[in-house]
Amino acid sequence: GAVVSQHPSRVICKSGTSVKIECRSLDFQATTMFWYRQFPKKSLMLMATSNEGSKATYEQGVEKDKFLINHASLTLSTLTVTSAHPEDSSFYICSARRPTGANEKLFFGSGTQLSVL
Partner 1 sequence: GIQVEQSPPDLILQEGANSTLRCNFSDSVNNLQWFHQNPWGQLINLFYIPSGTKQNGRLSATTVATERYSLLYISSSQTTDSGVYFCAVDVSGNTPLVFGKGTRLSVIA
| Among 44, 62, 68, 74, interactor with partner 1 by CB under 8 A | 44
Peptide bond into 8 cis (omega under 30): yes
State the minimum distance, in angstroms, from the CB of residue 16 to partner 1.
Answer: 25
113 binds partner 1 (CB under 8 A): yes
Cα 68 to Cα 39, 104, 108, 114: the distances in Å are: 19, 27, 20, 15
CB closer to partner 1, 16 vs 46 = 46
Phi, then psi, of 39 in degrees rounded to 5: -85, 160
State the minimum distance, in angstroms, from the CB of residue 107 to partner 1.
Answer: 7
| Among 5, 22, 49, 70, interactor with partner 1 by CB under 8 A | 49
